[in-house]
Amino acid sequence: MLFQSLKMAWSSILSNKMRSFLTMLGIIIGVIALIVLVSVVDGATGEVTDAVSSLGTNLLTVQIVDDKDRAITLNELEGLRKYEDLAEIAPYTTDFVNIRCGSENGRATVTGTTSGYTRIRNQELAYGRNIQGPDVDNHLNVAVINYALAQDIMRYENVGEAVGKELYLKGVPYQVIGVFEQQDSDMEMFQVSAYTAVIPYTSLIRISNSIGGINSFVVSAVSDDRLSALEGQIGNWLDERLNHDEDAYVLVNMSSIMSAMDKIMNAMTVMLGGIAAISLLVGGIGIMNIMLVSVTERTREIGIRKAIGAGQGSILLQFLIEALMLSLLGCALGVLSSWGILRLIALVSGYDFAMSPRIVTIATCFSLAIGMIFGIYPARKAAKKKPIDALHYAG
Q: In this predicted structure, what is the pLDDT of residue 111? A: 92
Read off the pLDDT of residues 239-286 as tens digits, 9 standing for 90 and up. Answer: 888 877 777 888 888 777 777 777 887 888 888 878 878 888 888 888
Q: What angle do CA 104, 188, 161 make, to 5 degrees?
A: 45
- Please, which residues have CB within 8 angstroms of residue 27's CB and are 6 or more apart in sequence? 280, 283, 284, 286, 287, 326, 327, 330, 331, 334, 367, 370
Task: Say what the pLDDT of residue 205 is.
Answer: 83
Question: What's this model's pTM, rounded to 2 decimal places?
Answer: 0.64
Q: Which residues of the chain have pLDDT under 70?
A: 1-2, 5, 48-57, 66-71, 184-192, 209-212, 302, 306, 309-310, 387-395
DSSP per-residue letters across 258-271: HHHHHHHHHHHHHH
pLDDT of the residue at 189? 47
Contact between 138 and 199 (Cβ < 8 Å): no
pLDDT value, residue 394: 46
The pLDDT tens digits of the residues spanning 40-81 come to 888 777 776 666 666 666 788 888 876 555 668 888 888 898
Of 241, 194, 190, which is closest to residue 217 (Cα–Cα)? Answer: 241
Rg of the chain on CA atoms, in Å: 33
Interstrand relation of 196-200 and 86-101 (parallel, antiparallel or unpaired): unpaired
| pLDDT at res. 51 | 66
Looking at residue 333, what is its pLDDT?
93
Per-residue exposure over 175-205, b if at least 16 CB sit within 10 Å of its own CB, e if not: ebbbbbeebeebbeeeeebebbbbbbbbbbb
Nearest-angstrom CA–CA distance, 188 and 186: 6
